[in-house]
Amino acid sequence: MPAMTRLSTLLFGLCAGAFAAPWSQDPRPAPAEAPSAQAQAPATAEAKPAVSPRTPHALEGVYELRARMVDGKPDRQPSRGYLAITQRHLFLCLGANGPDPEKPLLRAGVRTWQPVEAFVDGVVQLGWYTDAEGRITVEKKGVAERRRIDPIAGGVRIWNDSRNWLDFERVE
């Protein structure tokens, strides 16, 4: 089995495990206490309506990488990746062949995020990537960044610059 296939399978398994782990997910709200006898009294005309649940942001969801543009051209190298956007966090896991088959390009990260007009402001919580020589760069926690993320038909596009972007298709 080629090294890239083994490495991308391992990377995918690690990322899938991290996404499935309870500690990596947004906390669930605590269960409500049982209402008291006074709270069970009949409602009056002055009673306020129940608060409706939060409407998810349009970007929230789970996506699979479908296309990678490099210097304005579709990258023909095999690439795999997933993106998960929750209410507060953005998780990214990518793998692609590098110039040297023994040194794949890998990227994984977690950011908190907030939409700001046509952009997304993020703060690095955890992240790392490899360069063409296979060196690992660990991203510094707390670094703020602004990135353009556009909704596209069936998914989202994450821009690096005007000639480089990633297209993801919504799978959940």
pLDDT of residue 4: 46
Q: Which of 62, 68, 65 is nearest to 165 (CA)?
A: 68
Cα gap 90→85, rounded to integer Å: 4
Q: Provide the strand spans (E) within the chain.
A: 61-70, 73-74, 79-85, 89-96, 105-116, 119-130, 136-138, 144-152, 155-161, 164-170
Q: Which residues of the chain have pLDDT under 70?
A: 1-49
The predicted structure's pLDDT at residue 34? 53
Residues 6 or more apart whose Cβ sits within 8 Å of residue 59:
85, 115, 120, 149, 151, 156
pTM over 0.85: no
Q: Which CATH class is domain 3-19+57-170?
A: mainly beta
Alpha helix ranges (H) inside the chain: 3-20
pLDDT at residue number 99 = 82
Contact by Cβ (8 Å): 66, 79: no
Predicted local confidence at residue 17, as pLDDT: 44
pLDDT at res. 43: 55
The domain locations on the chain are 3-19+57-170
Q: Which amino acid belongs to residue 51?
A: V
In terms of Cα–Cα distance, which of 91, 111, 85, 82 is closest to 8?
A: 82
pLDDT of res. 50: 75
Q: How far apart are CA 72 and CA 65, in angstroms?
A: 17
CB 146 within 8 A of CB 120: yes
